[in-house]
Amino acid sequence: MTELTRIDLGLRRRSLIGYTLGMAAYTFVIVALYPTFKGDTGLDQFTEGNSTVAALFGASGSLTTSSGWLNANLYANFVPLVVLLLAIGYGASCLAGQNEDGTLGGMTTLPLSRRRIVAQKLVALCLTTVPVAVVTAIFVAVGRGFELSVDSAHLSGITIGVILLGVDFGAFAMLIGAVTGSRSVALGVASSVAAASYLISSLAPAVHWINPARYASLFFYAVGDGQLVDGLSASAVAVLIAVAVVLGVATVVAFERLDVR
């Protein structure tokens, strides 16, 4: 691991561990509660008739199936939210934030090209998104002991989708930070776009005029297209990776022009 990656991850170690432990506990509770709700047909009335209220919370289809239960309680909302909190937070702080507090200047005057600095930060961003997504998947897999049946390949697929979603929005926050030099602007813009992306993907099944816009939502490619049932498609992976690459390249270009204090 490179030096800047190691430093940035070390500085975020506590929050990473905290979020991961919290998510592990939450996932365990969700998994352990499943047998209680599995036979509750009243629960499905919540999503009947493509309820827009249910859709707002990322719930659609049956909630009593394993995939429906996991989707409504984890993958349509909570897991991406936590991963995005970490990723956007890091993306906004690793260039713009560190430039505001002055530490980036010290690193930029070492024999490291700006391209290499961005590359090392992107590696740290990727690794930031992994623990929460992977630990959640591990606890979901434990759910087999609680009558949950989830295909391992599909579970791996949605986990990769969540990680790539985090990388995309984290890289977007990095880009905005490199363009504006402002951590708060990067946080605000990236969070707003993520919220809009979430709304489009979750409301698409219930609101017909939003439906075509789902292709513009990264949530759709990562978690909003029945990935727990059908798996993560290769085309969705390609879109998510392509977005990350484009944002990474754009960040290098913007960072090359940023005034570093």
User: Binding residue for other proteins (CB under 8 A) from 45, 52, 113, 184?
Assistant: 113
In the chain, how many H helices and how many E strands? Answer: 14, 0
Q: 219 near 79, Cβ under 8 Å?
A: no
The pair of three-digit structure tokens given for residue 55, joined into one six-digit string: 């859709």
Using CB under 8 A, which residues numbered 228 to 257 contact other proteins? 257
Smallest distance, other proteins to C-beta of residue 100, A: 10
The three-class DSSP label of residue 84 is helix
**Residue appearing with tokens 């509750």:** 40
Answer yes or no whether residue 1 interacts with other proteins by CB under 8 A: no
> Which residue in 103, 180, 191, 233 binds other proteins (CB under 8 A)?
103
User: In this chain, which of 39, 42, 49, 111 binds other proteins, going by CB under 8 A?
Assistant: 111
The two tokens of residue 61 are 């289809």
Using CB under 8 A, pick the residue from 36, 41, 109, 149 that binds other proteins: 109
Query: Is residue 121 within 8 Å of residue 174, measured between CB atoms?
Result: yes
Asked if 140 and 31 touch (Cβ cutoff 8 Å), the reply is yes
Does residue 108 interact with other proteins by CB under 8 A? yes
CB of 110 to other proteins, least distance (A): 5
The binder of other proteins chosen from 21, 105, 211, 241 (CB under 8 A) = 105
Taking the C-alpha atoms of residue 49 and residue 223, their distance in angstroms, rounded to an integer, is 21
Contact residues for other proteins, defined by CB under 8 A: 3, 7, 10-11, 101-103, 105-106, 108-114, 257, 259-261
